[in-house]
Amino acid sequence: MKNWRLQKINQSAFEKTGAIPRSITRTFEKFKKELDPNSEAELIEQFKVSRYQTVVSIKYLILLIAAPVIVNQIAKNFIFGPFINYFWNIKQPGIFLNPSQEERAFAELQRIEEKIHFESLIGQTKDFSNENIEQQIKKRAIELAESYSEESANAIKNILADISSVIAIAILMILGRRQITILKSFLDELVYGLSDTAKAFLIILFTDIFVGFHSPHGWEVIIEAILRHFGLPENRDFIFLFIATFPVLLDTVFKYWIFRYLNRVSPSAVATYRNMNE
């Protein structure tokens, strides 16, 4: 029974587009099925297939999301964490992984010094002797060193833990090829089953977020967060080069998808998108 269901799902997932839009052909097929005396039994079977497809897709999607997160946390906190903490904190190989961390630490230390001197000048500090000020600066410098040392250790943990998550995802995808086919069919039906207005709205939403006028600021924040996550230097030239090229490539992919696939599957959605985008 499951093999039969999979064949039905595969047929829906890999349905080829022709010269006539799917909406027209499906309307004629629906009218033809309504005249078929066995249509009731077929509708029941289609409902069973649809329910089976939905349940399998949701379960596998949850597994794809939850398993890598769990593997990541276990690898980071229980497998690699103790070893890296011992090596980094006991052996003391260094505090900073890259010059960007040094620049941020020195800038923060400078702000701390200025704040302490300012507080001493306006009388908020009871003992404003040079020795007391130096002690406060030294204390905050040690706290900064510990903070950035922990950040460096966490960056190494993140690299190893993320590699473990990628391996977990690869294993799930290799072992779950059948579920991937069902999930792809489920997503295709979900996306192409939306109304033309909903399709156009989602296209405009995604394009404006990722390749719109304000997207460079968002990409800059994302790239900086990723570089810090892996302990990589925050090279401004690389960030600006990425922002100047990647959104353009992404915009090209969006337009190609609209021209190549959506224009054949749902021409009215493309027309609605163009009218809404004008």
Token pair, residue 16, equals 């080829």
49-58, 74-83, 87-96, 225-234: lowest mean pLDDT where? 87-96
**Does residue 187 lie in a domain region?**
no
Evaluate whether residue 237 is within a structural domain.
Answer: yes
Question: Would you say residue 8 has pLDDT above 60?
Answer: no
- Within a domain: 218: yes
Domain membership flag for residue 256: yes
> Which residues span the domain enclosing 272?
195-278
**What local confidence, expressed as pLDDT, does residue 183 receive?**
93
pLDDT computed for residue 14 by the predictor: 42
- Model confidence at 1, pLDDT cuts 50, 70, 90, reads very low
Q: What pLDDT is attached to residue 21?
A: 56
Number of structural domains the chain divides into: 1
Kindly tell me the burial class for residue 273, based on how many C-beta atoms sit within 10 Å of its own C-beta (0-12, 13-18, 19 or more).
buried
What local confidence, expressed as pLDDT, does residue 22 receive? 56
What is the chain's mean pLDDT, rounded? 83
Amino acid, res. 65: I
pLDDT at 56: 93
Asked if residue 55 belongs to a domain, the reply is no
* pLDDT tier for residue 37 given thresholds of 50, 70 and 90: low
Q: What is the mean pLDDT of residues 205-225?
A: 86
Q: What is the mean pLDDT of residues 207-216?
A: 81
- Taking each helix axis as running N to C, give the angle between helix 196-211 and helix 236-257, from 0 to 180 degrees, rounded to the nearest 10: 160
Please check whether residue 102 lies inside any domain of the structure. no
What pLDDT was estimated at residue 44? 80
- Give the CA diameter of the chain: 98
| Range scoring the smallest mean pLDDT among 78-82, 101-105, 201-205, 233-237 | 201-205
